[in-house]
């Protein structure tokens, strides 16, 4: 059994026990559902759909389970959101959520779990991108079929969601080059050709569709993304690439 299989099987089993009849389904998205999963570089992206509001005491039980399971997951950990079916179909934007967890919030929960379950709710523009990925490329782990639960988000909502990831790419590419380089490719692939791609697929699309002078940079990012390597970057080339790509995304031609 792979690490991904161990985490997802345990997650489904324990989610069903805690959420009971309120649980509609559990869905995998991101690199783990799109063939680009790397144990040392990828997180495990999950969407949990419920029928009704989740009480705080159930959220606390659920978070204890997630934190325990996350300790056995990949280095980047698990990322998940719980949403109600009523906001998935018809799709609501920005999308309300019942609970969210990522490794960035782990210390907050450990330090003050009561505050976390009370305050970790609201709306999240990123959920439009996650739901679009599930609708087109996701995997049902348990529960109702994807098309019975989710409606395809509008194109304007999806683009707004993915644009927020790269709109500051010219500044962020120096601190997070691999993510920004590949993400810029997949955002342009959507804007230009309407394609829903993973970061790795976006990089390969980029090699075929952006000027040759940036091919080495993209291939460099693909190599780091798919391996255990940590590489040095030509920062001037990366900054020039980011400016070019953001210009193309704004005016794809």
44 vs 28: CA distance, rounded Å? 8
* C-beta separation of 222 from 214 below 8 A: no
Chain centroid, CA 145 distance in Å: 20
CA–CA dist 208, 215 (Å, integer) = 9
By residue count, the chain amounts to 253
Contact (CB, 8 A) for 145 and 88 = no
More confident residue, 214 or 38: 214
pLDDT score for 230: 73
DSSP 231: -
Closest CA relative to residue 40, chosen from 3, 79, 67, 69: 3
Q: How many CA atoms lie within 13 A of 73 on its CB side?
A: 27
Given a cut of 80, whether residue 231 has pLDDT beyond it is: no
Name the average pLDDT for the chain: 95
pLDDT given at position 37: 86
Please tell me the distance from the alpha carbon of residue 99 to that of residue 83, in angstroms, as a whole number.
7
Is the per-residue pLDDT at 228 higher than 90? no
Contact 215, 226 (CB under 8 A): no
Tokens for 46, please give them. Answer: 């999950």
In 3D space, the residue among 192, 79, 59 whose CA is nearest the CA of residue 133 turns out to be 79
Cα separation, 222 vs 146, whole angstroms:
30
Please report, for residues 5, 7, 12, 204, 234, the alpha-carbon distance to residue 141 in angstroms, rounded to integers and kept in the order given.
10, 12, 7, 28, 41
Distance CA 158, CA 129 (A): 5
Question: Between vectors from CA 32 to CA 148 and to CA 55, what angle results, nearest 5°?
Answer: 55
Does pLDDT of 183 surpass 90?
yes
Cα 146 to chain centroid, rounded: 17
Residue with tokens 């993304």: 225
Instruction: Kindly report, residue by residue over 78-136, the tens digit of the pLDDT.
Output: 999 999 999 999 999 999 999 999 999 999 999 999 999 999 999 999 999 999 999 99
Mean pLDDT of 59-67: 98
Q: Which domains does the chain show, CATH number per domain? A: 3-152 (3.30.460), 167-250 (no CATH)
Whether the Cβ atoms of residue 224 and residue 61 lie closer than 8 Å to each other: no
């Amino acid at each position: 059994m792979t690490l991904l299989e161990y985490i997802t099987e345990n997650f489904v089993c324990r989610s069903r026990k805690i959420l009971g009849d309120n649980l509609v389904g559990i869905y995998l998205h991101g690199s783990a559902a799109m063939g680009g999963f790397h144990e040392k570089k990828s997180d495990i992206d999950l969407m949990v759909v419920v029928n009704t509001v989740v009480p705080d005491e159930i959220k606390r039980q659920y978070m204890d389970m997630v934190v325990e399971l996350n300790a056995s997951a990949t280095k980047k950990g698990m990322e998940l959101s719980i949403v109600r079916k009523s906001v998935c179909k018809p799709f609501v934007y920005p999308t309300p959520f019942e609970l969210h967890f990522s490794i960035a919030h782990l210390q907050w929960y450990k330090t003050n779990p009561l505050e976390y379950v009370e305050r970790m709710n609201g709306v999240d523009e990123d959920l439009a991108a996650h739901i679009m990925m599930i609708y087109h490329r996701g995997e049902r782990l348990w529960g109702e079929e994807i098309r019975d639960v989710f409606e395809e988000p509008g194109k304007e909502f999806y683009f707004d969601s993915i644009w927020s990831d790269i709109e500051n790419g010219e500044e962020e590419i120096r601190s997070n080059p691999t993510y920004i380089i590949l993400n810029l490719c997949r955002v342009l692939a959507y804007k230009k050709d309407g394609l829903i791609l993973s970061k790795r697929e976006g990089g390969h699309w980029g090699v075929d569709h952006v000027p040759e002078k940036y091919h080495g940079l993209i291939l460099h990012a693909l190599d780091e993304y798919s391996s255990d390597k940590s590489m040095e970057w030509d920062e001037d080339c990366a900054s020039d690439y980011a400016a070019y790509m953001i210009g193309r995304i704004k005016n794809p031609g």
